[in-house]
Amino acid sequence: MSAAGRSDTPRQIVIFGAGQAAVTATRYFHADTAHRVVGYAVDAEFLEARDLLGSPVVAVEEVLQRFPPDQVFAFVPMGAARMNQVRTEKYALMKSLGYRFLSYVHSSNDVYNKGSVGENCFILERQTTNYDCAIGDNVVMWSGCHIGDGSRIGDNCFFGSHVVVNGFVDVGAGSYLSSNCTLAHGIKLGARSFIGANALIASDTAEGAVHVVEPTPAMGIDSKRFVKLLRHDI
């Protein structure tokens, strides 16, 4: 799988990281592509085990020797820690070592037929993408998002599940969008914006903006007693 489109040509992959994100990425690659994860690289201080899912884990200082970049592609599926900065730094590190990158786009999606996807993206099931969408490099999109016509997703962004981006929206680099938030048509989201769950953004945001919605408060009543107060039992 490359920035140009989904590829069935088998590739070997070394993943940066050995935590839950690495496990999840390995499962998706093995279940949904012809590629195979052959190893994992971590910073030396985080080298706790030498094996993950049957493949070796090495310190990053060893990665070039164990997994030469002319033979093995890299993938960095880390989460949104420090507003995506950790994933971005490790992606840049592997690039500086000469690695090429794959993107993972689940086979349930047709984004490659309608738009474009950069490198080192991790895009899970059931996305709805309209025509002429552009997704940058190093973007994570959890399941079930909607990206409208002509929208642009900047590099290094993270989307939770069921984010709705309407048409001709620009999402600034490094932004974090939580589950079920909605971006209105034609707006520009400033770089490094933090958009909380269920938020509605109807106008442009500043760089580094934070928009959150208060969580639903508890009613202060036991659920059995509450049900008795309803007209129809549930």
More confident residue, 3 or 103: 103
What is the pLDDT at residue 3? 40
Q: What is the CATH number for 166?
A: 2.160.10.10
Picking from 50, 66, 96, the residue at the C-terminal end of a domain is 96
What is the pLDDT at residue 233? 57
What is the pLDDT at residue 234? 53
What is the pLDDT at residue 2? 38
Average pLDDT over residues 216-230: 90
**pTM, entire model:** 0.93
How does residue 229 score in pLDDT terms, banded at 50, 70 and 90?
confident
- Pick from 126, 174, 127: nearest CA to 147: 127
Beta carbons within 8 Å of 121's beta carbon, 6+ residues apart: 103, 104, 105, 135, 137, 138, 139, 140, 141
Number of folded domains that form the chain: 2
What is the pLDDT at residue 24? 98
Picking from 30, 61, 96, the residue at the C-terminal end of a domain is 96
Residue 5, pLDDT > 60, answer: no
DSSP symbol at 215: P
Rounded CA-CA distance 234/203 in Å is: 40
How does residue 42 score in pLDDT terms, banded at 50, 70 and 90?
very high
Mean pLDDT computed over every residue of the chain: 95
What domain range is 75 assigned to?
Answer: 12-96
3-state secondary structure of 125: coil
State pLDDT tens for residues 89-147.
999 999 999 999 999 999 999 999 999 999 999 999 999 999 999 999 999 999 999 99
State pLDDT tens for residues 151-201.
999 999 999 999 999 999 999 999 999 999 999 999 999 999 999 999 999
Picking from 65, 96, 127, the residue at the C-terminal end of a domain is 96
Backbone angles phi, psi at 49, to 5 degrees: -140, 150
Residue at 3 is within a domain? no
More confident residue, 65 or 230: 65
Q: What is the DSSP string of 132-183?
A: T-EE-SS-EE-TT-EE-TT-EE-TT-EE-TT-EE-TT-EEPTT-EE-TT-EE
Residue at 219 is within a domain? no
Residue 231, pLDDT > 80, answer: no
Residues 117 and 91 in one domain: no
Residues 125 and 48 in one domain: no
How does residue 228 score in pLDDT terms, banded at 50, 70 and 90?
confident
Average pLDDT over residues 66-70: 98
Residue at 48 is within a domain? yes
Backbone angles phi, psi at 144, to 5 degrees: 75, 30
